[in-house]
Structure 1
Amino acid sequence: MSLLLSIVVPVYKEEKNVPEFLRRLQPILGSVTSEYEIIFALDPSPDRTEEVILEHRARDPRIKLLCFSRRFGQPMATLAGMQYSRGDAVIVMDVDLQDPPELVHEMIAKWREGYEVVLPQRRQRTGEPWIKKLVSAVGYRVINKIADVRIPPNTGDFRLMSRRVVEEVVRLRETHGFLRGMVAVVGFKQCIIPFDRPARHAGETNYNRFLGSLRIGFNGIFCFSTNALQLSTFFGFIIALFSFLLMAIYLFYKFMGWTILWGNPTLVILISFLGGIQLIGIGILGEYIGRIYEEVRARPRYIVERATGFDPAS
């Protein structure tokens, strides 16, 4: 049976990476199947990313391009590419070659074994500062402690999904676009392929070099669990208990006629502590309310200005 394979590649300011990415990817795709499409989902870029992609499309019509009306971000660009894809299997990967194209062979082999989702998992993260690795490790641990679904650690959006999984993910109307969580919600049979992640081929990452995308991380925490709200309640009870204990100590000192040495520093510390806890609670509540607001508005997740290479009927 002939395999139609779709490669979805979100891009923004990546003119230096596109040629090398295609040079390495296309021979691999050609050895797997003659029927494939490479869908670049492009946020409007100030550089020549669009022109470079169109130059390569002139030589290979299997390269396709989605251009958005404004910058919607990588998660939305990825979902758009998935929605426009037609493949029996769809692979999402970055253009900076930190997602090695050479893994496509193994991912396809696992898909043919019957797995609906194939997740490359990073063993090493070459070229990333230690603080980013620490933030990532802590973030995954927190998410998997409190989330309603389990997200394998050290996995990004790089993954293979069957057509069935893609259709179910696209059918979810959530506006955050946290693909790792959405695929986990959908479920189906999954497997992991370990790999060593290389450094970027060229250019700088579009996320913070040290912290990555905190918004994407917060989406993983707040969009897939209400435990953070329960945490605020827990802290409230702890502080109330601490207050009662403090009052009991204060009364005991009074009854014993002992001098209480606490003064302004103690009051300042207690007030600052309570104020900080209150602000944390309000902040957590605000994160949930903000996401509810985004969902209720139901704005389009993305707006495509130009779709190059796609059948108009589809």
Structure 2
Amino acid sequence: MRNRAQGVPEISVVLACRNEEDNAVAIAAAVIEKLDPIVESFELIFIDNESQDGTVEIVKGMCARDPRIRLIVNTRNFGQMRSPTHGIYQAAGQAVISMCSDFQDTPDLLPEFVRRWRAGSDIVLGVRQSEKSGAILTFMRGLSYRLQKRFGDYAIIPNATGFGIYDRRVVEAIRALNEPEPFFRGLLVETGYAIETIPFKRPPRAGGKSNNNFFTLLDFALNGLAGSSKKLLRAPLYVAFLISLLTLTCLVGATVAAFTGHSWQLWLFAAMLEGQFGLLFLFLGLLGVQVALVSERTRNQPLVIERERVNFPDGA
């Protein structure tokens, strides 16, 4: 077992939730059931992203009965990137487990996560073996992975949603990046720490209705790709290079046509038109590089704004 400072929980479990009144009590009980026999001390942190049902009051009731359960309530919905990441940053444990509150991240893996972390693994992720969704969502998910693989600065692990355990030094390394729209599973890879995976079958949702739909998943995929790829900002430079080759080809064609007595005007017109597009994409590419540099130098904004927090130690 790794060394642990006195008073610091060994494990923190961060449960992202929104409108989970049907699952909150059950998921907390399931997590406690799995960790109680194997972990000396742990905390459960619910971070609520503007629930419109009774989730907050239900979790507050659990907090009153069990001091290990804590609650963060956001002032509004800050999205499914920023809110869970903020919760992870507030965790005090030597290792942090991140999972959803609707049982689609199965608590059955928690003992194995802890075992592997204690054995020295810095990151252990659960990888869903299958995704039961419609044809459109399946296509969009596959397209997202292909785009990420092609244009991303680093490869993400398909069907790994971020459900897993992270050592404290991994969490601190990601926090130091100060990413305003943190694509957390991509940032895990960016840290360079070794990642172990455990395949699991995604169980059915225990209760309530999913907050995700086609548009929220599309927004998540696009934000993830944009947040983990600087190559996209440089893409116009590559287009400008290709257009410049076409422009040069047309100029050569115009020259040859002029010397051989053929019509050269269309060749020259095409070269002028392509040259203008080439300059436009060159400008966009240079602008994109500048945007990337500005982004790197100005990462400094809170992930969420809290309305209240419950059961946290004084000063935490």
Question: TM-score per shorter chain, which class?
Answer: 0.7 to 0.9
Q: How does 1:226-305 map to 2 (within 5 A)?
A: 226-242=230-246, 289=291, 292=294, 296=298, 298-305=300-307
Of 46, 50, 56, the residue aligned with 2:56 is: 50
Give the direction of change, closer, same or farther, for the CA distance of 1:80–1:91 in structure 2 (3 Å limit). same
Offset of residue 68 of structure 1: 1.9
How far residue 234 of structure 1 moved from its aligned partner, in angstroms, is 2.3
After superposition, residues 97-246 of structure 1 pair within 5 angstroms as 97-126=103-132, 128-209=133-214, 212-214=217-219, 216-242=220-246
Checking the alignment, whether the CA contact within 8 Å between 2:50 and 2:76 is kept in structure 1 is: yes
Cα contact 1:5–1:36 (8 A) shared by 2: yes
Aligned to 1:307: 309
C-alpha deviation, 1:222, in angstroms: 2.9
Superposition pairs of residues 23-42 of structure 1, within 5 angstroms: 23-42=29-48
Change (3 A) 1:207 1:257: farther
Uncovered stretches (5+) of structure 2, i.e. residues with no partner: none
Stretch of structure 1 that moved more, 292-301 or 2-11: 292-301
RMSD in angstroms over aligned alpha carbons? 3.6
The verdict on how the C-alpha distance between 1:290 and 1:208 changes in structure 2, with shifts beyond 3 A counting, is: farther
Name the CA distance, whole Å, in 1 between partners of 2:196 and 2:144: 22
Q: Quick check: 189-198 or 203-212, which moved more? A: 203-212
1:60 maps to amino acid:
D
Q: Report the Cα offset of residue 107 of structure 1.
A: 1.1
Q: State percent identity of aligned pairs.
A: 30
State the distance in 2 between where 1:56 and 1:284 align: 54
Measure how far apart 1:23 and its partner are. Answer: 3.2
SS at match of 1:222: helix
How far, CA to CA, are the matches of 1:36 and 1:86 in structure 2? Answer: 9
**1:18, 1:283 → 2: CA distance?**
47
Distance in 2 (CA, whole Å) between partners of 1:73 and 1:294 is 22
Aligned residue identity for 2:163: F
- The alpha-carbon distance between structure 1 residues 284 and 203, as it changes in their structure 2 partners (threshold 3 A), is farther
What's the offset of the Cα at 1:224? 3.1
Give the drift of 1:220: 3.2
1:91 corresponds to 2:91: no
Pair 1:46–1:20, CA change in 2 (3 A): same
Match of 1:12 among 8, 18, 22: 18
Closer, same or farther in 2 for the Cα pair 1:16/1:35, shift >3 Å? same
Q: Distance in 1 between matches of 2:143 and 2:94?
A: 35
Aligned pairs, number: 305
- Code of the aligned partner of 2:89: Q
Q: Which amino acid aligns with 1:17?
A: N
Q: Deviation string for 1:159-185 (max 9, x for gaps)? A: 210112112222221111111122222
Question: Alignment partner of 1:22: what SS?
Answer: helix
Write out per-residue CA displacement over residues 122-156 of structure 1, whole angstroms, 9 at most, x where no aligned residue: 11113x22322222222223223333323212111
The 3 A distance-change label for structure 1 pair 241 and 291 is closer
Deviation per residue, 1:91-124 (Å, 9 max, x gap): 0000111100111111112112210000111111
- Of 303-312 and 290-299, more deviation after overlay is shown by 290-299
Contact 1:11 1:95 in 2 (8 A): yes
Alpha-carbon spacing, 1:205–1:242, altered in 2? closer, same or farther (3 Å): farther
Give the counterpart letter for 1:312 in structure 2: D
CA contact (8 A) 1:125 1:197 kept: yes
- 2:307 maps to a residue whose letter is E
Kindly provide the amino acid, as one letter, of the partner of residue 61 in structure 1. P
Q: CA deviation at 1:305?
A: 2.3
What TM-score do the two structures reach when normalised by structure 2?
0.80
Distance 1:32 1:137 in 2: 38
